Amino acid sequence: MDPFPPMRLPSRPGATIKRIYLCRHGETAANYKRLLQGKGIDLPLNDRGTVQARSLAERLRNEKVDFIGTSHLKRAKQTAQIIHQHHPRAAWLENEDLAEISWGSWDGTDTSEIETLIQKWDRGDFEAAAPQGESPFAVEIRSVSLLYDLIYSRSENNLVFVLHGRLLRIILSSLLNRNLSKMDSFRHHNCNINILDIEILDTPSSSSPLSLSPSSKNLAIQVLACILDDCSHLTDFLL
C-alpha cells in the first residue's frame, strides 16, 4: 500500500503546518443494525469493528503520529487505543466535546423522522435538532472550537483524532467550507481516514484562547491539501 503524500510545505515564511488525521471509529452492533447512534449510546466495537480498527492502525503504523485525541465513548476510545499501540509515545487526550451529536429521544432507534430533520438542515436550519437532542450548530460550537484550540496550542504537528460519523461531517464542512451547508456531502465509512494539511496563519489572543467562534478561527487557518474518506486499508468485507 502506497504511503500518504508528504506534508505540504508552508505557503509563506513563518507559517506553521500541521497534519490532521480525522478518522471514524470501527463498527458497533448499532451500526450493523443501522440504528441512530449518538452521544447517548455507548456501545463497544463488534468483531468486525475491531478488525476495522486494526486495519486502520496498520495503515497509520508508518505515519508520524505524536498526538491522539478521541471522544470518551467506547467505540471511538477503543479504536484510538488500537492505534495508540503502534504509537505508544504519542500524547493522549480523551474529551467529551469530541463526542457524537446527541439524537436525544431518537438515539438507538431507526426512526424515519430523521429524514424531516435532514430536510431542515438542507434548507440551512442548523439549529434544528431531534427531540431532546443537539443541533449541528451546537455540535460545531463545542467540537470545532476544541479542535482549533488543540491545533493552536499543542506543540505536536501530526494529530490523529478518532471521531464519529455526523461529527466528522460537521467538522469537515466547518473546516473546508466555513459553514455547515456541505456537511451531508461528506462520506464517513467506519475507520476511514480524512487528512488535512493545515497552515496556521495567525495565533488567537493568548489572553482569551477560547473567545473566538469556529467561523472566526477559520479565518486564521488555511487548508492546503486534503484527502477525504480514504478506505484503501479496508477490504470489501470491512466496508
Burial 49-65 (b: 16+ CB within 10 A, else e): bbbbbbbbbebbeebeb
Query: What pLDDT does 15 receive?
Result: 87
Domain 17-238 has CATH 3.40.50.1240: yes
Question: In the structure grid, which three cell numbers stand for residue 188, read together?
Answer: 464517513
Name the catalytic one among 63, 72, 94, 100.
100
Name the catalytic one among 25, 84, 87, 233.
25
Query: What pLDDT does 201 receive?
Result: 74
> For residue 137, with 0-12 CB atoms within 10 Å meaning exposed, 13-18 middle and 19 or more buried, which class applies?
middle
Query: What pLDDT does 210 receive?
Result: 38
pLDDT per residue as tens digits for the range 169-214: 999 999 998 899 999 999 999 999 999 999 987 655 443 333 445 5
Residues forming the annotated binding site? 24-31, 75
pLDDT per residue as tens digits for the range 22-53: 999 999 999 999 999 999 999 999 999 999 99
Query: What pLDDT does 217 receive?
Result: 52
pLDDT per residue as tens digits for the range 47-103: 999 999 999 999 999 999 999 999 999 999 999 999 999 999 999 999 999 999 999
Query: What pLDDT does 212 receive?
Result: 46
Active site residue 25: yes
| Mean pLDDT of the residues in the chain | 91
Would the pTM of this model clear 0.75, i.e. be above it? Answer: yes
On whether the CB atoms of residues 49 and 25 are closer than 8 A, the answer is yes
For residues 52 and 25, what is the distance between their CA atoms, to the nearest angstrom? 9
For residues 190 and 192, what is the distance between their CA atoms, to the nearest angstrom? 6
- Name the residue ranges covered by the structural domains of the chain: 17-238
| Residue 95 to residues 76, 110, 142, 146, 170, Cα–Cα distance (Å) | 11, 27, 11, 9, 17
Active site residue 140: no
